[in-house]
Structure 1
Amino acid sequence: MAVQDGPHQASPRKEPGCLRGLVALVVFVGIIYAIWWFTGGRDGDDEASSTPSVSASATGDRGGSSGEWKAGDCGGPDPDRAPDGYEAYDCGDPDATFRALKIMDGSILPAAVQCPAGTDVIIEVSMNSGSDVKPSGGIPTDTVCGRNLSGDHPGDAGAGGGQLVKGDCVTADVEEIACDQAGPGDLKVLGLVDAGSARCPSGTTDPIRLTIVVGRPYDTVCGREP
């Protein structure tokens, strides 16, 4: 929302100072907004916002002393930081619940991280300015895209959970549902594209343009009736 001052006369010599003040205000508001995003102030109710459960952070000794996670590593809930904490486990450990499919860069914009199909859980690894992994807050360094070790895979295409991917089904309001529950008016996702650089694949009958979400790599859901 634009903010306008009341009527006044300003000397041209004072405009640079006013401009600097306005820039400082914009930067301050931007920092507050980023902190609000990172600390969970978002409500996650935007279109196509279906995502796997996301932890604030993960700990573990993968990658030696660096504590880095790698594809193939396993992890599970950290009992000392429930319900949002995860830690590394040997894949044969009974406490292990997921295996890392892919390790991606961290981001303060959750929508900017698009994990591969089959991802059941997304875990944000955050660190402070030092080397200690923190339970929450800090700078996001990596994103662990994990797949459950159990037979429960909500992230599979069409299963009704996880991030929205090709092969999923959605309602006319772009709410993800299991494909075996789809009915009249529901759509199957043939692709997720940025309309500015790509077209929907052949067979698309109902392309749905989404509201803008900063960082999301697509703005159009390409659908057809199941």
Structure 2
Amino acid sequence: MANPYQVTPPPPPRRRSGGNVVAVIVLAVIIVGGYFALQSVNKDDSKPSASTSASPSAKPTAKDPGSPESSSDTSSAWKVGDCGGPDPAKAPDGYKRTGCSDSGATFKAIDIKEASILPGAIQCPPGTDLMIDVSISYGGGKSSGIPTNTVCGRNLSSDHPGDAGAGGGQLVKGDCVTSQAKEVACGGSGAQKVLGLVKTKSECPSGTTDPIELTMAIGRPYDVICTDG
């Protein structure tokens, strides 16, 4: 009969085979090797690439005040006395600010007016040969931007269509028109001298024989052209 109080001794521990030891060593080598490889990659990533370090950084080009940043000049670009000329980048109706001694300068600003979206609301002074709408655009587009100012320009040449009677520019006292209110140079056939530009016929000055009533236009400062017929 077996002794119920006898304790069976635990079996002796098993010895690891040589194959298991080799596997552990190989695994350790792989882990250590992978760690050092990862460290090497991280160091390489922290350094600038050869192409970046060898390429010099782009230097900002000095901005030409005559070259607008976007499709139009900003409102602060123009002031009385500035000169300008055609802008080939915005042909055929584009202009840019230039030095008055530049070969491309064709006119000088004789007045700067606030912008208006109402046609005819801006009245430049007598002698204005051309009017240039100034606007600011965002995003570098070439479309019209936000109106800011109007430049009243006078040609640097001896050609001044804006002078009274010359047949160009804005209509002013001293100009001539046809019976259809079209501006023409004085001295031609059918030319009627403009004696005044008023709101009503009753405001025409003496000597007016043929006042021309115009279709009402919002913003235009006159509705009647007083002529001597």
Task: Report the TM range for the smaller structure's normalisation.
Answer: 0.5 to 0.7
Matched ranges for 1:26-105 at <5 A = 58-59=72-73, 67-105=76-114
Q: Secondary structure at the match of 2:187?
A: helix
Aligned length: 159
Deviations along 1:114-170, one digit per CA (max 9) or x if unpaired, are 111111111000114x6x886442221100000010111111110011111110111
- Name the CA shift for 1:112/1:134 in 2 (closer, same or farther; >3 Å): farther
Q: Secondary structure at the match of 1:67?
A: helix
- In structure 2, runs of 5+ residues without a counterpart are 1-70
1:106 to 105, 110, 115: 115
- 2:212: which partner in 1? 208
- In structure 1, runs of 5+ residues without a counterpart are 1-56, 61-65
Decide whether the 8 Å contact of 2:73 with 2:136 is kept in 1.
no
Name the CA distance, whole Å, in 2 between partners of 1:104 and 1:174.
Answer: 25
Name the CA distance, whole Å, in 2 between partners of 1:69 and 1:150.
Answer: 20
- 2:188: which partner in 1? 181
Q: Please state if 1:172 is matched with 2:179.
A: yes
Q: Please state if 1:191 is matched with 2:205.
A: no
Q: Which structure carries more strand by proportion?
A: 1
- Name the CA shift for 1:133/1:90 in 2 (closer, same or farther; >3 Å): farther
Counterpart amino acid of residue 124 in structure 1:
D
2:222 to 199, 218, 222: 218
TM-score by length of 1: 0.65
Counterpart amino acid of residue 151 in structure 2:
V
Matched ranges for 1:3-42 at <5 A = none
User: Cα RMSD between the aligned structures?
Assistant: 2.1
- 1:36: which partner in 2? none
1:118 to 110, 127, 131: 127
Q: Which structure is higher in RCO with an 8 Å CA cutoff and minimum separation 6? A: 1
> Deviating runs (4+, > 2 A) in structure 1?
57-60, 132-136
Q: Secondary structure at the match of 1:80?
A: helix
- 2:149: which partner in 1? 142
Identity of aligned pairs, percent?
Answer: 62
Counterpart amino acid of residue 148 in structure 1:
N
